[in-house]
Amino acid sequence: MKLHNELNNQECIGKEMCACIGENDPWVTYSDGNYGEKNYYKDVFVNGYCVYMDGEVCKIIGYDELAREVTMYCEYSDAHSTDDSYNGVYTIPYSQYVADFGLDWGY
């Protein structure tokens, strides 16, 4: 499990990267844009919370190689939630991390 092509996994902790969500991934929710653009918005929900959107900047805060999961933080995720218990931290499968963030983000 590798989080970046040039950095080791420990060096990735605390680094920020931008989500670039592809098409037809099963974890993505699509909605139309304001002018009727089909599937304009791409959002990812975990446990009922919108944890990141296409173009959102997120930060790696941990990883579990055995479980093949990456824990991340997004400051503005689900900013409109009325549930104060959500703190912007979420965990996604490694395959989803690679698909949405890639291994070549800037550092």
Contact 40, 33 (CB under 8 A): yes
Lowest mean pLDDT: which of 13-17, 50-54, 65-69? 50-54
* Band (31; pLDDT cuts 50, 70, 90): confident
What are the backbone dihedrals phi and psi of residue 61, each rounded to the nearest 5 degrees, phi first? Answer: -120, -10
CB atoms within 10 A of CB 78: 19
pLDDT tens per residue across span 74-101: 987 665 555 666 788 999 999 999 999 9
Mean pLDDT of the chain: 87
Q: What is the residue-wise DSSP string for 28-64?
A: EEEE--TT--TT-EEEEEETTEEEEETT-EEEEEEEE
> Average of pLDDT values for 56-68?
95
> Average of pLDDT values for 11-20?
94
User: 45: which strand partners?
Assistant: 50
Q: Is 57 left (phi over 0), alpha (psi -120 to 50) or beta?
A: beta
